Amino acid sequence: MATSVLPSADNVIPPKSLYIIPAETPEKKRLATQYVFKRALYEWNSPIPPVTDVSRLSNVLDVAAGTCAWTFDFASLPGVSERLAENADNRLRLYACDIETRFFPEKALTDRLGITTFQQDATEPFPENLREKFDLVHVSFLFLCLTKEGWQKALQHFYDVLKPGGILMLDEADPIVYSHPSSVPAEDASGHDLEKALNDTTWVGKANRIYTGMALENGFFTDLTYRFPELLGAAGFEVRYAKRAIAPAGPHCRSLLSESDAAELGEFTVENLVFIFRHLAAALFAKGRLRNPDGTLVETEEARDSMMADVAEGLRREGGVSIGRCLIAKKV
């Protein structure tokens, strides 16, 4: 039998990573709460949509696993938890990888569930011994990590490690903020009006100069949720399930989430975006690439901080929304 060889999860931060938020305890907590928010957003009663039959799964991989929140949630499912023990009938094995291992839980926690963690850049080929190994690959929130070329490579690598007929589960978002659900482009639109989003003279334009501006600066997709069917088809996948969600922040939580979820997560939805935007704004400012809605450069730290204050106030006072999409695609 071949020996499994996987890259070490040794807390080395690879130089190719585009993740700019510090690996500190608050960030780990934010990522965990962000996962709770996504479950509420998509109205999941489970970490996987009901179209997925867990009884048919034997090897599952969580890519860009971060804190392994999804992996742990999946491990708790009926039909999964009892199949994780070494001596279990029809044993199910869980794997989790990330380009950075700094957010992984303590090894004792992953070992308890038999989760194999390893370091992996999704834009690079996976180890040969993982080829056609997995029944399900889960990928989440790489929209501010992968370039357009990076997505093409990553989807090909996900295809390679899936068994014939294997399932790829994706949930991603577009880095554009709108002030109201009625402003969001239709699901069958060609995409976003970037000029309008960036040049809006209100706080929304400032938010998008940060959020969308970072995506454009790094060559990320700004319309990923619209492009996925095309990208997946080119990589050899067939979309079997898709659900779009309008992600609220601030006051819009009351109309787009359940009453209990709005009460629990309303403040987080604002703080989460403010936290992210603050780091993105700082990175753009440091490169001399942060701009106002009229296109002029933000040249002082005071102007940058004022910009962020306006965005935070707008989110709290009016609320904002963005687009997310969850897809299940089959390897054909």
End-to-end CA gap in the chain? 28
What values do phi and psi take at 240, rounded to 5? -110, -20
Neighbours of 195 (CB within 10 A): 8
Per DSSP, the three-state class of 185 is: coil
Asked if residues 246 and 43 have their Cβ atoms less than 8 Å apart, the reply is no
Token reading at 76: 């708790």
pLDDT of residue 12: 45
Q: Compute the chain's Rg from CA coordinates.
A: 20
**DSSP string covering 128-178:** GGGTT-EEEEEEE--TTT-BHHHHHHHHHHHHHHEEEEEEEEEEEE-S--B
CA distance 305 to 282: 9
Asked if residues 94 and 118 have their Cβ atoms less than 8 Å apart, the reply is no
pLDDT of residue 48: 85
Q: Give kind and range of the element (H or E) at residue 296.
A: none
Q: Which of 99, 44, 93, 96 is nearest to 65 (CA)?
A: 96
Token reading at 37: 């928010």
CA distance 150 to 51: 28
Asked if residues 193 and 288 have their Cβ atoms less than 8 Å apart, the reply is no
Q: Give kind and range of the element (H or E) at residue 116.
A: strand 115-119
CA distance 332 to 325: 21
pLDDT of residue 3: 39
- How many Cα atoms sit within 13 Å of 154 on the Cβ side? 25
- How many Cα atoms sit within 13 Å of 55 on the Cβ side? 0
Asked if residues 246 and 256 have their Cβ atoms less than 8 Å apart, the reply is yes
* Strand partners of residue 162: 134
CA distance 164 to 147: 27
Contacts for 185 with CB less than 8 Å, ≥ 6 apart: 191, 192, 193, 323
pLDDT of residue 5: 54
The mean pLDDT of the chain is 91
pLDDT digits (tens, 9 = 90+) for 158-174: 999 999 999 999 999 99
* Strand partners of residue 324: 173, 245
Distance, CA of 26 to chain centre? 18
pLDDT of residue 14: 47
Q: Along the chain (332 residues), what's the average pLDDT of each consecutive run of 10 residues?
A: 49 51 69 90 82 90 95 93 91 95 91 95 97 97 94 98 97 97 96 97 98 96 96 97 95 96 96 95 97 97 98 98 96 96
